[in-house]
Chains A and B, each alone.
Chain A
Amino acid sequence: MLAVQKSSTDQGSTEKVPGGNATCVKVSMVGAPYLRKVDLKNYNSYHELSDALGKMLSSFTIGNCGGTHGTKDFLNESRLVDLLNGTDYVPTYEDKDGDWMLVGDVPWDMFVESCKRLRIMKGAEATGLAPRAMEKCKSRSFK
């Protein structure tokens, strides 16, 4: 069973800059009960970001640590394995033009400059078979 892994990096970076930080972006994941935030300046490569997101998103299995019942139900073990193996989960980002793009196509620095928000989609959502998900994504006001 995975222990809770709280990344102090992203929480620390958002607390450090009261006025907000241009490189701090929200991270959402399909089916997740809440968002997270990361400061892209804390990473130097896609690999580092990928590792951090993997740890961050695995923290949704906090059933052992007194998490809410809803959170425990969110991610059962088999889906977690899918997440960690990267199968069927598509990392995407919204850029400054409001377009959703696949993470990893451009050099890291260019990505950091243009990334406004991250979203880990399921394969079907990414290929457009679930277009309503994007409308919800765009219109939803994240808490």
Chain B
Amino acid sequence: MDWPRANSPLEHSTSSCHRFTPQDCDEEADGVQSKERRAYVKVNMDEVIVGRKICILDHGGYSSLALQLEDMFGKQSASRLRLFQAGSEFCLFYKDREENWKTVGDVPWKEFVESVKRLRIGRKSKSLLSYSPTFS
């Protein structure tokens, strides 16, 4: 089966662990692992059952993020996603650490990276207010 290849920065982290004591290694690995776990956020698109996961740290800005999402979900629409572009049918939302859904792009990238917990691609025709969170 042709599955997407996942980046495995974790492998690099654990390999450098061997220089430390076993206890340090566990703490180091745990710290790295939990940070990495937070870096992976779920992405869902309206009306698409299967979600994806992306590593937010792979990106340096919104345009890079938009490119990856286009690659992952662009085929779901004949007009493609064209996120952040005028005339696009779709809008990108994110859930922050306070569990609030917001529009992606309003805050500086670094601030976004620190607060994003989850992403959702929705149609602009549906407002956030009418959005009933199927995804928790």
Residues of A that sit less than 8 Å from B by CB: 46, 50, 53-54, 86, 89-92, 97, 99-111, 121, 125-128, 131, 134
Judge whether B6 and A128 touch: CB under 8 Å: no
Judge whether B50 and A100 touch: CB under 8 Å: yes
Judge whether B135 and A107 touch: CB under 8 Å: no
B1-35 interface bits toward A, Cβ cutoff 8 Å, 1 = contact, 0 = none:
11111111111000000000000000000000100
Q: Complex formed: what's the CA distance from A53 to B5 in Å?
A: 17
Closest Cβ–Cβ distance, residue A54 to chain B (whole Å)? 7
Residues of B within 8 A of A121 (CB): 50
B38-53 interface bits toward A, Cβ cutoff 8 Å, 1 = contact, 0 = none:
0010101001111111
Closest Cβ–Cβ distance, residue A136 to chain B (whole Å)? 12
Judge whether A104 and B136 touch: CB under 8 Å: no
Q: What would 21 A/B residue contacts be, using CB atoms closer than 8 Å?
A: A46-B6, A54-B1, A86-B1, A91-B1, A91-B3, A100-B49, A101-B50, A102-B4, A103-B3, A104-B4, A104-B6, A105-B52, A105-B54, A106-B53, A107-B36, A109-B10, A110-B10, A121-B50, A125-B49, A127-B76, A128-B48
Closest Cβ–Cβ distance, residue B14 to chain A (whole Å)? 9
Which one of B6, B10, B11, B50 contacts A90 once the chains associate, using CB atoms below 8 Å? B50
Judge whether A50 and B3 touch: CB under 8 Å: yes
Residues of B within 8 A of A131 (CB): 49
Closest Cβ–Cβ distance, residue B28 to chain A (whole Å)? 15
Indicate whether B97 reaches chain A with its CB closer than 8 angstroms: no
New A-B contacts (7) at CB < 8 Å, excluding given A86-B2, A104-B3, A107-B11 = A101-B52, A102-B53, A105-B54, A107-B6, A107-B7, A107-B9, A107-B36
